[in-house]
Amino acid sequence: MSKDARNDARNKVRDAAIALFAQKGVKATTIKDIARAAGVSEGALYRHWASKEELAAALFAAEYTALSHDLSAAAGGGPAPQRLRRVVAWAFGLVEAAPDRARFLLLSQHDALPLVPDGLETPVDAVCAIVGDGIAEGSIVDADREALAHTVIGAIVLNIQSHVYGRQTAPLGALADTVADALLRGLSTGKGA
């Protein structure tokens, strides 16, 4: 059997599972659901993952680290405030570009976060690093960097969440500047890097 076919099955299961997990959550999604949506048998799934829980944990860890990596890339270079502004805009854009990924991460975090192995690079780490740089260069106020990073991420996540749940009806793109302005006024010293 060719390697392409092998990856096809894996990828089909992965995509189907993420979409279903994103819609109904991990617990409410059955193996039958996933197999049917992916167009494979239930048994085939167990050739690639040991259990449903391991499948969910593996998918979450992969998406979580990818998010962290993409976030760092989107931040780019330059002074920390500018990088944070890019992070906000990028995160809001991601929801519209890949709603399943975003919803999957939002929905599964409470189940899956405790299963993520320690030492993995997380999005929190990435933002922490930017904030730390900002403190070092004097462009971000000198305070607990984790608390500031959580403040930034929380502001992003809750705006996204409320959008995903249909509470916030204004398009996210229009809010990026509002949220970024408020956060940066709060975190910046006003001095350039």
Partner DNA sequence: TCGTTATGAGTGAACGTTCACTCAAATCCT
Partner DNA sequence: AGGATTTGAGTGAACGTTCACTCATAACGA
Residues that bind a second copy (CB under 8 A): 25, 27-28, 106-107, 110-111, 113-114, 124, 141, 143-144, 146-148, 150-159, 161-162, 165, 167-168, 170, 174-175, 178-179, 181-187
Please give the residue ranges that form the binding site for DNA (CB under 7 A).
1-2, 5-6, 8-9, 28-32, 39-44, 46-48, 51-53
Maximum pairwise Cα distance, the chain: 61
Helix (H, G, I), strand (E, B) or coil at 188: strand
Amino acid at 100: D
Nearer to a second copy (CB atom), residue 8 or residue 99: 99
Shortest distance, position 59 Cβ to DNA, whole Å: 14
Nearest-angstrom CA–CA distance, 96 and 78:
26
Nearer to a second copy (CB atom), residue 40 or residue 134: 134
Shortest distance, position 84 Cβ to a second copy, whole Å: 12
> Which one of DNA, a second copy, none is in contact with 9 (Cβ closer than 5 to 8 A by kind)?
DNA
Nearest-angstrom CA–CA distance, 108 and 114:
11
Measure the CA angle with vertex 176, ends 81 and 144; round to 5°. Answer: 40
Number of Cβ within 10 Å of residue 12's Cβ equals 16
Nearer to DNA (CB atom), residue 42 or residue 177: 42
Side-chain-side CA neighbours of residue 76 (13 Å): 12
Nearest-angstrom CA–CA distance, 15 and 21:
10
CB within 8 A of 91, min separation 6: which ones?
71, 156, 160
Helix (H, G, I), strand (E, B) or coil at 140: strand
Nearer to a second copy (CB atom), residue 40 or residue 153: 153
Shortest distance, position 39 Cβ to DNA, whole Å: 7
Shortest distance, position 112 Cβ to DNA, whole Å: 15
> Which one of DNA, a second copy, none is in contact with 11 (Cβ closer than 5 to 8 A by kind)?
none
> Which one of a second copy, DNA, none is in contact with 2 (Cβ closer than 5 to 8 A by kind)?
DNA
Shortest distance, position 14 Cβ to DNA, whole Å: 12
